[in-house]
A and B are shown apart, each in its own frame.
Chain A
Amino acid sequence: MSVLKLENVKKYYGVKNNITKAVDGISFQVDEGEFVAIMGASGSGKTTLLNCISTIDNVTSGHIYVGREDITEIKEDDMADFRRENLGFIFQDFNLLDTLSIEENISLSLIINHTDVNEMDKRVLDIASKLGISDVLKKFPYEVSGGQKQRCACARALITHPKLILADEPTGALDSKSSRMLLETMRDMNEHLGATILMVTHDTFSASFCKRVLFLKDGKIFNEILRGDKSRKEFFDEIIDVLTLLGGDTENVR
């Protein structure tokens, strides 16, 4: 069953003679339990696409379905409820609230949902132990490392059991060790907790953790590859090959 379905989505910027086609007619779908990466050079429209899916930005035309609901048609007032119930977010710069402890950051959406306090504690502890951040729960974001912050963001995204988790360059601000740990966490989230994840990245290493990779170029889907039974190393090499074909920046070829 598809969790996310895009139909000919377009997003144009600018006026009259100076139009930027950031997203130019993209259609694809993500099924339940998938872990999908979207890759592309800078300026290929990855982030814009993700912003559209996450209801942060409006589309110019086309439809985006999350579950059965068309999010391009949802009214502004109902948007908050929809986001809260269906989507989880992980950002490059964490977007944790400085004023709340790690524990409170994780439980924030539950608080908003008026979940029972005992139930809430149980869920927070549960998810924290799964993500390995139980010992920093009482600390504040500025007191923990980048990797821990990002795992906190993951926990926050996971705790409401959203239909879809959207991640925008989640390893962007992390060192390689933390990146690896985070990606492994995300893979576990996908495999063991059944989370459906859509991740935007320009990092081949990150993408190689996914089950499927979509390549964007100039706002259009250029290619799509599946991991299947391949090892992560083989998948990594395959991604590199596509990126070479993509002819984007050489920085993508390591």
Chain B
Amino acid sequence: MLGKLAVRNVKRSAKDYVIYFITVVLAFSFLFAFNLLGSSSEVLELSDVMNNFAIVMHVVNIFILFVVCFLINYTIKFMFSKRSLEFGTYLLLGIKKKQISNLFTLENVLLGLLTLPLAIFVGYILSLLMSFIITGLFELESIVHITFSIEAVLLLFVYFAFIYVFVLFLARRRIRKVKIYDLLYLEKKNEEKQFRKNKVRNVSFFVSLGLGILAMALFFQEFHRLGVDPSMATVLFCIVLIIFSIYGVVITLADFLLKVVLKNKKLKYQKDYLFLARTFSSKVKTMSFTLGTISVLITFTLIALNLSSLFKAMFDYQLELSAPYDISVTEIDENEIPLYLDFIKEHYTIEEEFVYHGYTESNRNVSKVLGELGGWREYDQVVKLSDYNKLLELKGDKPLQLEQDEYLIHATREFEDILTNTSSIQEIILPNDEVLKLKDVVTDGYTYAWGTGYGFLLVVPDDAVEGLAVESTNLIVDTKEETTEEFAKVFERLLVPDICEEEDDGYTVCYSLANVTVRGNVEATNNGFITIVSFVCFYIAFIFISVVGTILAIQGLSDSSKYKYRYQVLSKLGVKESELDKTIFRQLFVFFLFPVIYPIIISFFTVFSLNHLFQFVLTTDTVYILYYFINLFVFLLIYIIYFLTTYFGFKRNIGDSQGGGFFAR
């Protein structure tokens, strides 16, 4: 009989159960999507190689598990409160608590099992969609392959069992402890004041804020020290601090704001502030922990998005730094050039080939300044302006102009400070007695393809190289097709050895002075690690955004019946429908805005600190700000979609009642 009752109840409260069902399906599909990522061979391989990466994946896994657990617990609590009156009646009629909790358990397990196949399906589609977006929109190589895996399914079952055992244990304990009185009058209950004393609240607020600042400072310290690897322990400690801080701030802040609004009569009675403030703070009181979790998730989302773009930017910069041209061979033997070209022609269509000379500047005007920082070369390398401009043009940069008595230094960013602050290079004398004034030190767009072992390049007017010894001959080739890793391997074998040395074990090892760089090869070597990390970060960010949006949307919609009544009262008091709409908009807007504010601040400072790690491998040291805002924009875009969906859904739910069922409550 109880079983029959359960089935009927599920049928009758189908509308509420739809919300429950969708939440559970989504929650498990997010979990499954993450499992799929974790079981993809690329990620597994990377975890094998990189210890830290494996740790990060585990931490994220635990966190997602925790959030899903929390989400399901939340929905089960929600269903319980919806049916509190029913359970109260059962108790009154003499059904034992144990029977009721068995009934409730059975119901939830059955429903949960029903959600699993759907969750697997949705999760799989979701993961495909996400990898499609990531590879398409963010132009990442599709190097991580998400495939359906039985392992991920099994893992999902394990997680499912774990979560349900845990959550239902909590639910059963709740039922055991609940008083029949509370069940019958649960709906009419007001939210309790969380902090009986304002002082406690104020202190908690500032302590939480302090923890956040402390965490940020520690984090900054950790990444500010150049050349020292940040310790994983400190970083984890900072993360824990940040989580505590976010929960604390979010929980106390709403109460704090409410106090401000209520204290200030002018503010209190202006427009619909009173209604908004009360609604909002009651909301925060009932779901302060949820909002805290959401804020933590948003923080992680923003950081993950930024990490992802920093990694991607790092990859792009590395590529430009070492291989801006399809094929480049430095210090080549001039006679061998046709040989190389013929070989390249067998594989690719040559769009453009360019040979230029590097000249010797034996006075070493610049490397003397750099001292040990500079390369291991005995000369400074000089190129003609016309050659230099051609080099720039092939890279897709704009050509430069020089006066007859000017020269230019193009160097890596590390040298910028020293070179711009040294007066001795303001005017230099070349070995051929040409006197040149420094026009500028350029750092953007330097590439090692212009010669290894220097870190800088002197550009002089074409006439000024007269009398200088030719130091090297270099070949640059622009091919129509993309070069590949395989080609690079064969091509390198072509090089004629220049120096041979006998090793201790009797083998002879030969080197070539020439230096070959094939873009496709560099791309492939760098690609693996960075792209996977970047991809994983994006993927996690998307899962988090989905979780956040789902929680907020469901929260907003689930208790719209409660608000229906409140808005009916407002409407009866003579508030126009357009004004009601505005109030609804504001109410939801505040609700969605609130959990985003603190994470934006926290994540910005985190990225600011992280930038110290990345700035030397990025095009400029402030480019992270641009990335930050682009990522924030991407996040907000998705967030706003969730917001609007909730808004229209909410309005429809409220609107249902304004027609016929005016007194229907």
CB 8 Å contact bits of A210-236 with B (1 = contact, 0 = none): 000000000000000000000000000
Q: Is A84 an interface residue (CB 8 A)?
A: yes
Tell me which of B11, B94, B180, B184 has the highest count of chain A C-beta atoms within 10 A of its own C-beta: B94
Whole-angstrom CA separation of A55 from B93 in the bound complex: 12
The 8 A CB mask of B1-32 against A (1 = contact, 0 = none) is: 10001001101100000000000000000000
Q: Which residues of A contact B181 (CB under 8 A)?
A: 51, 56-57
Q: Known contacts being A51-B181, A56-B184, A80-B97, is A99 close to B9, with CB within 8 Å?
A: yes
A51 to chain B: closest residue by CB:
B181
- Contact partner of A84 (CB less than 8 A), chosen from B9, B12, B93, is B93
| Residue among A56, A95, A109, A156 having the largest count of chain B Cβ atoms under 10 Å | A56
Residue contact A98 to B12, C-beta cutoff 8 Å:
yes
Q: Does B186 reach chain A (CB closer than 8 Å)? A: no
* A112 adjacent to B95 (CB under 8 Å): yes
Is A100's CB under 8 angstroms from B85's CB?
no
A residues 50-85 in Cβ contact with B at 8 Å = 51, 54-58, 76-77, 80-85
Contact A85 B89 (CB under 8 A): no
Which of A85, A108, A113 is packed against the most chain B CB atoms within 10 Å?
Answer: A108
B92 and A99 contact, CB distance less than 8 A? no
Known: A57-B181, A100-B8. A95 touches B94 (CB 8 A): no
Counting CB contacts under 8 A, is B86 at the interface? yes
Q: Which of B78-103 contact A (CB under 8 A)?
A: 85-86, 88-89, 91-97
- Interface 1/0s, chain A 92-115, versus B by CB < 8 A? 000101111000000011011100
Distance to closest chain A CB from B284 (angstroms):
24
- Contact across chains for B94 and A83 when beta carbons are under 8 A apart: yes
A76 to B181, CA, bound (A): 13
A84:B180 contact, CB within 8 angstroms: no
- Knowing A56-B181, A57-B181, A111-B1 are in contact, say whether A99-B12 is a contact too (CB < 8 A): yes
A109 touches B184 (CB 8 A): no
Instruction: Tell yes or no: A89 within 8 A of B by CB.
Output: yes
Task: Kindly list chain A residues whose C-beta atoms are within 8 Å of the C-beta of B184.
Answer: 56
Q: How far is B88's CA from A62's CA once the two chains are assembled, in angstroms?
A: 25
Check A80–B95 contact: CB distance below 8 A.
yes
Do the beta carbons of B11 and A99 come within 8 Å of each other?
Answer: yes
| Chain A residues with CB under 8 A of B89 | 95, 97
Closest-by-CB residue of B relative to A108 is: B93
A interface footprint on B407-421 (CB within 8 Å = 1, 0 otherwise): 000000000000000
Q: Does B95 contact A97, Cβ atoms closer than 8 Å?
A: no
Nearest CB of A to B192, in Å: 13
**With A99-B8, A99-B11 given, is the CB distance from A112 to B94 under 8 Å?**
yes
A76 to B177, CA, bound (A): 10
Q: Using an 8 Å CB-CB cutoff, how does the interface string of A31-43 with B read, 1 for contact, 0 for none?
A: 0000000000000
Closest Cβ of chain A: how far from B282's Cβ, in Å? 21
B463 to chain A, nearest CB (A): 95
Q: Of all chain B residues, which has the CB nearest A109?
A: B93
Inter-chain contact A109/B12, CB cutoff 8 Å: no
- Nearest opposing residue in chain A for B89, CB measure: A95
Counting contact residues on chain A (CB < 8 A from B), the size range is 20 to 34
Contact present for A112 and B12 (CB under 8 Å): no
> Which B residues touch A81, using CB under 8 A?
94, 96
- Cα of A216 to Cα of B594 in the assembled complex, Å: 49
A108 to B93 CA separation, bound complex (whole angstroms): 8
Residue of A nearest to B180 (CB): A56
Q: Are A56 and B92 in contact (CB under 8 A)?
A: yes
Are A80 and B8 CB-contacts (below 8 A) given A56-B181, A97-B89? no
Q: Which residues of A contact B96 (CB under 8 A)?
A: 77, 80-81
- Among residues of B, the one whose C-beta sits closest to the C-beta of A162 is B94
Cα(A122)–Cα(B153), bound, Å? 53
Q: In the complex, A54 Cα to B86 Cα: how many Å?
A: 17
B8 touches A83 (CB 8 A): no
Of chain A, the residue at the smallest CB distance from B9 is A99
- Cα–Cα distance between A74 and B11 once the two chains are bound (Å): 36
- Nearest CB on A from B12, distance (A): 4
Q: Which of A77, A83, A100 contacts B92 (CB 8 A)?
A: A83
Chain A residues contacting B92 (CB-CB under 8 Å) are: 54, 56, 83, 89, 95
Q: How far is the CB of A215 from chain B (nearest CB, A)?
A: 25
A109 touching B94, Cβ below 8 Å: yes
Bound CA span A127–B5, Å: 23
Instruction: Point out the residues of chain B lying under 8 angstroms from A89, CB to CB.
Output: 92-93
Set of chain B residues within 8 Å of A57, measured between Cβ atoms: 179, 181
Complex CA gap A113/B95 in Å reads 9
The distance in angstroms between the C-alpha atoms of A97 and B12, with both chains bound, is: 10
When C-beta atoms are compared, the residue in chain B nearest to A111 turns out to be B1
Distance of A136 from chain B, by nearest CB (Å): 18
Q: How far is the CA of A113 from the CA of B94 in the complex (A)?
A: 9
B85 touches A95 (CB 8 A): yes
- Min CB distance, B101 to chain A, in Å? 12
Complexed CA–CA distance, A69 and B91 (Å): 19
Contact (Cβ within 8 A) A100 B5: yes
Complex interface residues of chain B between 30 and 66 (CB less than 8 A to chain A): none
Q: A89 vs B12: C-alpha distance in the bound complex, in angstroms?
A: 24
Most chain B CB neighbours (cut-off 10 Å) among A100, A112, A113: A112
In the complex, what residues of A have CB within 8 A of residue B9's CB? 99
Smallest beta-carbon distance A85→chain B, Å: 7
* Of B91, B93, B96, B180, most A-chain CB atoms within 10 Å: B93
Q: How far is the CB of A105 from chain B (nearest CB, A)?
A: 10
Docked CA distance A54–B9 (Å): 26
Q: Which of A51, A97, A111 contacts B86 (CB 8 A)?
A: A97
Known: A51-B181, A56-B184. A83 touches B12 (CB 8 A): no
The smallest beta-carbon distance between B356 and chain A, in angstroms, is: 86
Q: How far is B93's CA from A113's CA once the two chains are assembled, in angstroms?
A: 10
Identify which of residues 107-158 in chain A touch chain B, using a CB-to-CB cut-off of 8 Å: 108-109, 111-113, 156
Contact pattern, B 89-129, Cβ under 8 Å of A = 1, otherwise 0: 10111111100000000000000000000000000000000
A97 and B96 alpha carbons, distance in the complex (Å)? 17
**Chain B residues within 8 Å of A56, by CB:** 92, 180-181, 184
Docked Cα-Cα span, A57 to B5, in Å, equals 27
**CB closest chain-A residue, reference B96:** A80
Q: Which of B8, B85, B93 touches A112 (beta carbons < 8 Å)? A: B93
Determine the distance from Cα of A85 to Cα of B12 in the docked complex, in whole angstroms: 29
Q: Using an 8 Å CB-CB cutoff, how does the interface string of B153-190 with A read, 1 for contact, 0 for none? A: 00000000000000000000000000111001000000
User: Which B residue sits closest to A96, measured CB to CB?
Assistant: B89
* Option from A77, A82, A83, A98 in Cβ contact (under 8 Å) with B93: A83
Whether B11 and A85, one on each chain, are in contact in the complex, defined by CB atoms closer than 8 angstroms, is: no
Binding site for B on A (CB under 8 A): 51, 54-58, 76-77, 80-85, 89, 95, 97-100, 108-109, 111-113, 156
Spell out B's residues near A (CB within 8 Å): 1, 5, 8-9, 11-12, 85-86, 88-89, 91-97, 179-181, 184
With A57-B181, A83-B91 already in contact, 19 other A-B pairs whose C-beta atoms are closer than 8 Å: A51-B181, A54-B92, A56-B92, A80-B95, A80-B97, A82-B94, A83-B92, A83-B94, A84-B93, A89-B92, A89-B93, A95-B85, A95-B88, A97-B86, A97-B89, A99-B8, A100-B5, A109-B94, A113-B94
Top 5 A-B pairs, shortest CB-CB distance = A84-B94, A99-B8, A99-B12, A80-B96, A83-B94
- What are 9 A-B residue pairs whose CB atoms fall within 8 Å in the complex? A51-B181, A76-B97, A84-B95, A89-B92, A98-B12, A108-B93, A109-B93, A112-B93, A112-B94
